[in-house]
Amino acid sequence: MHYLPLDIQLEFFKLYNNEIPVSDLETWIYSKKEHEEFLDQETYLDLISLNYKTRHIKHELGKIINHHLDFGILEERKLRKILDDLIDRTGQFT
Task: Please give the average per-residue pLDDT across 34-55, as a whole number.
Answer: 90
Give the residue from 33, 45, 35 showing the smallest Cα distance to 12. Answer: 35
Burial of 61 (0-12, 13-18, 19+ CB in 10 A): buried
Choose between 25 and 90: higher pLDDT. 25
**pLDDT mean over 26-50:** 89
- pTM summary value: 0.80
CB 43 within 8 A of CB 69: no
